[in-house]
Amino acid sequence: MADGLAHAHRTGVLHRDLKPANVLLTDDGVPMLLDFNVASLVTPKDGSKTVSVGGTLPYMSPECLEAMTFQSPGPSDVRTDLYSLGIIFYELLTGKLPYESLPGGGIPEMMAPTMLALRRHPPAPPSVLNPNVSPSVDAIVLKLLQLGPDQRYTQAEHLAEDLRRQLSHRALRYAPNTSWSERWRKWRRRNPRLTTALAVAAAALGLLFAPATAFIVRQD
């Protein structure tokens, strides 16, 4: 999905309605982004930095909800799409949205202010709901869901790189590496032979010093 979004952004297109219903898995398990009906140019033809607000409320970024709340044009920025992708990732990992969908009679203008207020507080890390989520995956998702666009990934390519680094057991480049124990586990997986050699060396040292330790104990 990150690669597909990066391709769209490189061609100058914002999706503006990312949600699970607009992601199709091919027979090979490759996700494809669908439904560009409300898409817009990254930079509109008139040169402005804003476009009309579009999207689905539970997957909207704070800046889009703010624009809807105050009836103003929304931002034209790739980081808005990345926020929506972060909500999809969160739901994929936990089975739940990071923020509850609230009743509002189905009227977006009534629901948007409350949903915006909820987004002003950081969501619980995915690992709170799914203990199998690693600290690095937590960091990737939470970076996508930052309130301020400047704190998110600035390009979908950067997100794709961090995801590839995670899959290949390397340290992240753009999201924070918060867990030294996970970095150590990644290093061991990248260097299994060296890890085995170190373990054997440690065992050999233990056997080497064991007789001397036993002798000292007997002397005492």
Summarize pLDDT for 19-71 with one digit per residue, the tens: 999 888 888 888 888 877 666 666 554 444 555 667 888 999 998 888 887 76
- pLDDT tier, 186 (very low <50, low <70, confident <90, very high otherwise): confident
Among residues 186, 208, 205, the alpha carbon closest in space to that of 197 is found at 205
Closest CA to 137 of 145, 127, 147, 151: 127
106: left (phi over 0), alpha (psi -120 to 50) or beta: left
pTM, rounded to two decimals: 0.80
Read off the pLDDT of residues 101-126 as tens digits, 9 standing for 90 and up.
665 556 667 788 888 888 999 999 99
pLDDT at 146: 96
Q: Please state, for a pLDDT cut of 70, what percent of the chain lies above it.
A: 72
Which of the four pLDDT bands, split at 50, 70 and 90, describes residue 219?
low
- Give me the active site residues, please: 17
* pLDDT value, residue 204: 65
Residue 215 pLDDT grade (very low, low, confident, very high; cuts 50, 70, 90): very low
Closest to 176 (Cα-Cα) out of 149, 141, 148 = 141
CB-based contacts of 122: which residues, under 8 Å, 6+ apart? 142, 145, 146, 147
CA-nearest of 53, 208, 66, 51 to 147 is: 66
Rounded-to-integer distance, Cα 210 and Cα 208, Å: 6
pLDDT tens digit sequence for 149-166: 999 999 999 999 999 999
Burial class (CB in 10 A: 0-12, 13-18, 19+), 44: middle
Q: What is the CATH number of domain 2-178?
A: 1.10.510.10
So where are the chain's domains? Answer: 2-178, 187-219
Compute the mean pLDDT over every residue in the chain, rounded to the nearest whole number.
81
